[in-house]
Amino acid sequence: ISSNDNSIWDSSSDLKIFQPCKAICEFRLDKYINDPVFQFFKAYGTLHLGQIQDAILQLENARKCHSDVSLCCLLALIYAHKICENKCCCIHAKLTDKGNLPPTTHLTASPTTHLTACQAVLRIN
């Protein structure tokens, strides 16, 4: 793949990769209910499909219940919070530009309350 070919990682490629990943994991979790690897990859697929809040909840659950995948889950959670933070900042900027929020409103939060802040911003939009 040449360095000029950036189209390989566009959103349609994410759908082609992560929808089957999530579907396979869901299918396998019916048989192997507590398999930590399938739980992680289901959550990771969910994250890349844009269902960030669901993915964060699934990753936190897998991290608490299974020490085998706790490091993977922790790294994915960091990534999920960064994605959520970027979306919150973009939405906050759009709402401020439209006059729906005063410019002095800040939507920063600690990692523990960040999900709640994102939910509030997404409800406003």
| 48-78: pLDDT as tens digits | 888 888 999 999 999 999 899 999 999 999 9
Cα 106-89-72 angle, rounded to 5 deg:
115
Task: Using alpha carbons, list the distances in angstroms from residue 110 to 5, 113, 116.
Answer: 37, 5, 10
pLDDT tens series, the chain, 125 aa: 444 444 444 556 667 788 888 889 999 999 998 899 999 999 999 998 888 889 999 999 999 998 999 999 999 999 998 887 777 666 656 666 666 555 554 444 444 444 444 445 444 44
pLDDT, tens digit (0-9, with 9 covering 90-100), for 43-52: 999 998 888 8
Q: pTM higher than 0.85 for the full model?
A: no
Domain boundaries, the chain: 7-124
Residue 53's nearest CA partner among 74, 83, 31 is 83
Return the residue matching tokens 């939060």.
109
What distance in Å separates the CA atoms of residue 32 and residue 96, rounded to the nearest whole number?
47
